[in-house]
Amino acid sequence: MADIALAPLATPNSRLLAGLKRGGPRLWVGAALVAILVLAALFAHLLAPHDPLEQDLLSAQLPPAWMQGGDPAYIFGTDSLGRCVLSRLI
């Protein structure tokens, strides 16, 4: 009989761990962006400063807050119906 050396059984890397190692920083940056978008979607009702469907025709076409004539209450301004652009974006 031949002597057979039994090597210790190595646990194979799962596909997920292999993918995480292979992906590097690009994978982590992409995963972080997706996580931020998911969290923004889940907590949109807490993040949005105004109701996205509320219309205020007196505040229509306001420029963003950093431009002259902008209102700090509407950071990204308003659309033609006076709806908050930031709230609608979120």
pTM of whole model > 0.85? no
pLDDT values of the chain reduced to their tens digit, one per residue, 90 residues = 566 665 555 555 677 777 767 777 888 899 999 999 999 999 999 998 999 999 999 989 999 999 999 889 999 999 999 999 999 998
Could you give the 3-state DSSP secondary structure of residue 84?
Answer: strand
Rounded to 5°, angle at Cα 64 from 63 and 68: 65
Q: Which residues contact 50 (CB under 8 A, 6 or more apart)?
A: 73, 74, 83, 84, 86, 87
Ramachandran angles phi, psi of 35, nearest 5°: -65, -40
